Copies of this chain bind each other. A is one copy, B any other.
Amino acid sequence: MATVDKIVAQMPKSLSKVEFSYCPGCHHGIVHRIIAEVIDELGIAEKTLMVAPVGCSVFAYNFFDLDGTVAAHGRAPAVATGMKRALPDRIVFTYQGDGDLASIGTAEIVHAANRGENITTIFINNAVYGMTGGQMAPTTLIGQKTTTSPYGREPKANGYPIRMSEMLSTLEGAVYIERTMVTTPQNVIKTKAAIKKAFQAQIKGLGFSMIEVLSTCPTNWGMTPIEAMKWLEENMTKTFPLGVFVDKTKGMI
């Protein structure tokens, strides 16, 4: 008999050692780690290309130990399309915020999904423009105060929180779309399963997959990281219900 010390969880290989630039408690970091774990588990690091967005995760291409680039604001799906068309046997994924994907990049994500572009998109919905200092996003909740909705988002003036997963699910080319969150170890595990499935769909060549992760932005919400998670669970999930919106992968993965 001897005492055996086993490491059961540690920084995944597909992450570089560069420290994240995120604020304390920001969920971007959790999702990064999950993606890296999935890539490690699928053994695809050496054939994966990542496309970072403009947003707080603009440095993401440096946080992953993968070939990568950063797209112009909102255009990651177009960049990924270019890559995937050039190298169809590589794995290409985009990582995008809600300003990036749901606002300026609307046309690009809609058409990537509609083309059934064989890429994977990780969509971080934190209901706010994090990087630029907390302006209203298309996903900002009704009544939510931000620096550009200082009196609270009012539908008459600013419209409604846009549900991208629901909208994109109407498109034939989308094969897997799920909305998750990462507020507890349990739903971290669920999110990981979803992201894994999305990558598997791509590996099988099925078409466009997207995982929307509801995330906190403690800094711009003006909350502690823990408060922010509660707020997310209590408020965001009402407007953005979790769930699988399309799954055409049955029996294929």
A193 to chain B, nearest CB (A): 26
Q: Show 20 A/B contacts (Cβ-Cβ < 8 Å), sorted by A.
A: A103-B107, A106-B106, A106-B107, A106-B110, A106-B111, A107-B107, A110-B110, A111-B162, A114-B159, A114-B160, A114-B162, A115-B159, A116-B155, A116-B156, A116-B160, A117-B159, A159-B173, A163-B170, A167-B167, A167-B170
CB-CB under 8 A from A155, the residues of chain B are: 116, 172-173
Report how far A114 CA is from B106 CA in the complex, Å: 12
Report how far A28 CA is from B81 CA in the complex, Å: 34
A104-120 vs B, Cβ < 8 Å mask (1 yes, 0 no): 11110011001111000
Size bracket, chain A contacts: 20 to 34
Report how far A161 CA is from B1 CA in the complex, Å: 66
Task: Choose among A155, A158, A159 the residue with the greatest number of B CB atoms under 10 Å from its CB.
Answer: A159
A78-112 vs B, Cβ < 8 Å mask (1 yes, 0 no): 00000000000000000000000001111100110
Report how far A162 CA is from B172 CA in the complex, Å: 8
A218 on the interface (CB 8 Å rule)?
no
CB-CB under 8 A from A167, the residues of chain B are: 110, 167, 170-171
A158-197 vs B, Cβ < 8 Å mask (1 yes, 0 no): 1110110011001111000000000000000000000000
A135 to chain B, nearest CB (A): 15
CB-CB under 8 A from A138, the residues of chain B are: 111, 114
